[in-house]
């Protein structure tokens, strides 16, 4: 899933319009639209923090740092075994 898809999906799950997300984050609505359409993928750390906070997710989730399958596999490993 792309950054655009994650932002849009989470915003819709919260029944929030782009305008509402913009108002709550202080990020212009036009920029939210660019993120959701994938025409803009880079953002400052500050913007990522504000989006993540309002959307109730982590910056790692927005960035797609971990693949969902990878996260599930890591969660299945007991902590002692994970340390190696």
Q: How many residues does the chain have?
A: 84
Q: How confident is the model at residue 1 (pLDDT cuts 50, 70, 90)?
A: confident
Q: What is the mean pLDDT of residues 68-84?
A: 49
The domain limits of the chain are: 3-83
Q: What is the pLDDT of residue 36?
A: 95
Q: Please, what is the Cα angle at 17 between 5 and 62, to 5 degrees? A: 30
Q: Residue 68's Cα: distance from chain center in Å?
A: 13
Q: What is the pLDDT of residue 82?
A: 46
Contact 41, 49 (CB under 8 A): no
CATH class held by domain 3-83: mainly alpha
pLDDT in tens, 21-71: 999 999 999 999 999 999 998 899 999 999 999 999 999 999 888 765 544
C-alpha 46/C-alpha 84 separation (Å) is: 35
What global pTM score does this model have? 0.74
């Amino acid at each position: 899933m792309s950054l655009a898809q994650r932002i849009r999906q989470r915003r819709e799950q919260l029944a929030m319009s782009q305008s509402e997300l913009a108002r709550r984050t202080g990020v212009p609505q036009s920029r939210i639209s660019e993120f959701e359409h994938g025409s803009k993928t880079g953002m400052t750390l500050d913007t990522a923090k504000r989006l993540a906070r309002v959307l109730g997710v982590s910056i790692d989730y927005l960035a797609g740092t971990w693949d969902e399958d990878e996260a599930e596999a890591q969660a299945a490993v007991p902590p002692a075994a994970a340390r190696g």
